[in-house]
Structure 1
């Protein structure tokens, strides 16, 4: 596994820890639907959350959340539709981003309702 994958996995682990400490239940990690993937599917109250985790060890080229592209957002929404359909979810949904910066200091920031 390459350095990039190690950084991404570490970021997802930190995001899961952050979510669990803040009262979220993790339903799935790395949910795959055809070519699409959602990093974390979580639940809190009557909200189902689809969460994209972006991790960077170097902020020279921008913050992690700046790397969620429009095309990627569309793929996340398509995978979410599949999950909603197969589970017959009838409640609220939200698309979030968790930004993880790993370096001298580790920072986890949760952006709610960040993907439209």
Structure 2
């Protein structure tokens, strides 16, 4: 497996552990719909958190969250619309980014709630 794929997989594991520690229930990992893939779908109380995980080994080229583009956002919106309708859920939906910088043996995790409001 390519090194960046391993880093991404490690980032998703770190994000899941972070969410569980913060009382989120993990509903789905790597949920796919058409061309979209949602990294994590979690729930806390009556809020469905749709979480894009971005992991980098450095912030030299920018913060991890800076790499979520409008095309990705559009795909995530479509996937979650399908997810909610398919399961007939009555929940608030929030789109978050968990940005992780993992280099050497240090990890910085930042949970950006309602992250797409800034696009």
Q: Give CA-to-partner distance per residue, 1:56-86, whole Å, 9 cap, x none.
A: 0121101101111111111111111110111
Q: Distance in 2 between matches of 1:71 and 1:91?
A: 24
Deviation (angstroms), 1:12: 0.4
Contiguous gaps of at least 5 residues in structure 1: none
Structure 1 runs, 4 residues or longer, greater than 2 Å off: none
Distance 1:9 1:3 in 2: 10
Other-structure match for 1:39 = 39
Corresponding pairs, count: 116
* SS of alignment partner, residue 115 of structure 1: helix
Structure 2 spans left out of the alignment, 5+ residues = none
Q: Provide the C-alpha distance between the structure 1 equivalents of 2:81 and 2:16, rounded to a whole number of angstroms.
A: 22
| Superposition deviation, residue 34 in structure 1 | 1.1
* TM-score normalized with structure 1 length: 0.97
Shift, 1:4, TM fit? 1.0
Shift of residue 90, structure 1, vs aligned partner? 1.2
**Post-superposition offset of 1:6:** 0.2
- Provide the C-alpha distance between the structure 2 equivalents of 1:26 and 1:113, rounded to a whole number of angstroms: 18
CA RMSD, 1 decimal:
0.8
